[in-house]
């Protein structure tokens, strides 16, 4: 079990910065929780950073549930019962029990151990799920069903069936909220582009240590296909609306649901990307942005060493950020501040926190890390970006060579096909000629002609014999 203590200062600081304190949240993590296992690049290698990201994702999912419930019911506590489906080991539950009484929360996962852990640790109700929707036994109905990172992994054989099964568990006023992969997020998640011209695509990748890749891989689905599955029900899709990594889908049973009143805050994303020490001045800079058009950033706060060192109500231009994301709305996303170390003692071991408050009133903690780690991270990130650029350049060059080879091969194949066609035509002509000759030879005229030539040859031979005899 992982419990917050001095070994996890970043996770503790994240909860303090995001919620005001760390004591209220149970940060106990089961050792088999796949969502909290180190892996990936940079921060993801450090257990403290992994736990921080884990808690951040849990908070963001809880905020998602709160916002949708506020739109649908007026407040989350007005939803009678909630089902967190494919809940894992409680990434969301540890936050949700502070928003809703535990007896009104049900969790369900195909891994029985995960359900048992949440029931024991958080006091919620639990149902062990199954890979087959028809085998899932549940006799309750729910006002709110949340299914994160489930439909992003299902093959076609179970995608529709699980969607219908969960919809059948909704009350008449209920809402189903789930996540999917669009072409953009599928590429981001799998490292491979979604195939063009396809509405649904499943790759049996090993996304879990306990589930068969053919049951739980990586899935891409278009909004057109989703709406076809929704049928007469109402569907809203929010691009990258869940933790900036998956598309968020809101589905209600009624036909003409009005989503216009749903002001959804997708949160913020960005990073510090410059840390410089010049004399006694420490300069920090980075960028921060939001995908939510209706909830723009109101202000940004920078904290270092436990002190607020900057509060910005306007952001500087970052053309590089806008160009990278291909979106001019990210142009004004830059922030920077300077710290005079003679007035404020900040060391490389002190914590750096970047927060942003949006027009929705939510304060999002975008970054937590030491000042020194930010500097190292930036250098490593730059090196990784350079290696990635080189790899991409090499890949593009190889792809160009491959295309040239394919074109040459296509040309050779076309020439071979042309030669084969000419050979076929010659063979066909030869066969027709043989057939004509055979028909001529079988005719009475031809037989009479052949007989005439034989008689002519005999007469010529006779005349020659008589001529030689007369000379003797």
Domain boundaries, the chain: 9-252, 268-381, 445-471
Reference 373, options 60, 42, 17; nearest CA is 42
Phi/psi for 234 (5° steps) reads -100, 135
Residues in the chain: 472
The region that residue 20 occupies, defined by phi over 0 for left and psi between -120 and 50 for alpha, beta otherwise, is left
Beta-carbon count within 10 A of 105 CB: 25
- Residues 37 and 14: their CA atoms lie apart, in Å, by 18
What's residue 41's pLDDT? 46
- CB distance 304 to 346 below 8 Å: yes
- Residues 21 and 18: their CA atoms lie apart, in Å, by 8
Beta-carbon count within 10 A of 13 CB: 22
- Mark out the alpha helices in 199-285 (DSSP H runs): 223-230
Token pair for residue 111?
């891994």
What's residue 384's pLDDT? 42
Strand partners, 405: none
| 105-109/82-85 β-pairing | parallel
Token pair for residue 471?
């000379």
- Residues 87 and 157: their CA atoms lie apart, in Å, by 21
- CB distance 126 to 107 below 8 Å: yes
What's residue 72's pLDDT? 97
- CB distance 298 to 313 below 8 Å: yes
What string of DSSP letters covers 28-94? -B-TT-GGG---SSGGGGSHHHHHHHHHHHHHHHHHHHHHHHHHHHSSGGGSS-EEEET-TTTTTHH
CA–chain centroid gap for 191, Å, is 9
Q: Which CATH superfamily is domain 9-252 in?
A: Vaccinia Virus protein VP39 (3.40.50.150)
- Residues 154 and 214: their CA atoms lie apart, in Å, by 8
Q: 3.30.420.10, 2.60.40.2300, 2.60.40.10, 3.40.50.300: which CATH number matches 268-381?
A: 2.60.40.10
What does pLDDT average to in each consecutive run of 10 residues of the chain (472 residues)?
Answer: 67 91 82 77 68 94 97 95 97 96 97 97 96 94 97 94 97 97 83 85 80 85 95 95 94 95 95 85 91 94 89 95 91 92 80 94 93 64 52 63 70 76 78 72 67 70 70 66
What's residue 14's pLDDT? 93
Q: What is the DSSP letter of 360?
A: T
* Total-model pTM: 0.77
What's residue 381's pLDDT? 45
Greatest pairwise CA separation for the chain in angstroms: 148
Q: What residue has token string 């920077």?
A: 336
- CB distance 96 to 84 below 8 Å: yes
Strand ranges (E), 209-260: 218-221, 234-242, 246-252
- Residues 377 and 371: their CA atoms lie apart, in Å, by 10
Reference 64, options 290, 243, 270, 245; nearest CA is 243
Reference 114, options 181, 34, 191, 46; nearest CA is 34
Beta-carbon count within 10 A of 153 CB: 23
Exposure of 234 in the CB half-sphere (CA atoms within 13 A): 13
Return the exposure string of 206-220: e unless at least 16 CB atoms fall within 10 Å of the residue's CB, then b. Answer: ebeeebeeebbbbbb
């Amino acid at each position: 079990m992982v419990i917050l203590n001095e070994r996890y200062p970043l996770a503790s600081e994240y909860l303090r910065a995001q919620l005001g304190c760390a004591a209220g949240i149970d940060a106990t993590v089961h050792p088999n929780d796949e969502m909290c296992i180190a892996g990936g690049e940079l921060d993801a290698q450090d257990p403290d950073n992994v736990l921080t990201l884990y808690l951040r994702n849990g908070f963001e999912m809880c905020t998602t549930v709160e916002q949708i419930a506020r739109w649908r019911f007026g407040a989350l506590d007005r939803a009678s019962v909630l089902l967190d489906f494919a809940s894992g080991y409680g990434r969301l539950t540890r936050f949700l029990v502070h928003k809703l009484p535990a007896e009104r929360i049900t969790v369900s996962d195909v891994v029985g151990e995960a359900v048992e852990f949440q029931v024991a640790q958080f006091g919620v109700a639990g149902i062990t799920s199954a890979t087959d929707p028809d085998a899932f036994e549940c006799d309750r109905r729910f006002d709110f069903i949340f299914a994160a990172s489930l439909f992003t992994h299902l093959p076609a054989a179970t995608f529709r069936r699980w969607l219908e099964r969960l919809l059948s568990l909704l009350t008449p006023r209920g809402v189903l909220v789930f996540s999917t992969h669009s072409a953009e997020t599928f590429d981001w998640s799998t490292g491979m582009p979604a195939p063009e011209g396809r509405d649904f695509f499943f790759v049996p990748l090993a996304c879990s240590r306990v589930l068969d890749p053919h049951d739980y891989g990586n899935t891409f689905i278009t909004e057109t296909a989703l709406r076809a599955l929704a049928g007469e029900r109402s569907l809203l899709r929010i691009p990258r609306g869940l933790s900036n990594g998956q598309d968020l889908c809101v589905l209600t049973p009624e036909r003409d649901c009005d989503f216009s009143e749903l002001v959804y805050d997708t949160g913020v994303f960005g990073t510090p990307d410059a840390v410089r020490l010049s004399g006694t001045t420490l300069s920090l800079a980075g960028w921060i942005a939001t995908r939510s058009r209706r909830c723009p950033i109101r202000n940004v706060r920078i904290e270092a060493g436990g002190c607020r060192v900057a509060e910005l109500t306007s952001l500087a231009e970052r053309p590089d950020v806008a160009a990278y994301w291909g979106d001019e709305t990210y142009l004004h996303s830059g922030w920077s501040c300077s710290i005079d170390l003679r007035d404020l003692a900040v060391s490389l071991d002190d914590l750096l926190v970047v927060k942003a408050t949006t027009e929705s009133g939510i304060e999002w903690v975008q970054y937590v890390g030491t000042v020194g780690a930010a500097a190292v991270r930036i250098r490593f990130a730059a090196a990784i970006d350079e290696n990635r650029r080189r790899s991409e350049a090499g890949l593009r060059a190889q792809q160009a060579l491959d295309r040239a080879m394919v074109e040459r091969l296509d040309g050779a194949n076309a020439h071979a096909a042309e030669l084969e066609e000419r050979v076929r035509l010659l063979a066909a002509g030869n066969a027709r000629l043989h057939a004509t000759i055979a028909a001529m030879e079988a005719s009475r005229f031809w037989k009479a002609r052949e007989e005439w030539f034989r008689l002519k040859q005999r007469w010529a031979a006779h005349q020659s014999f008589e001529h030689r005899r007369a000379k003797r």
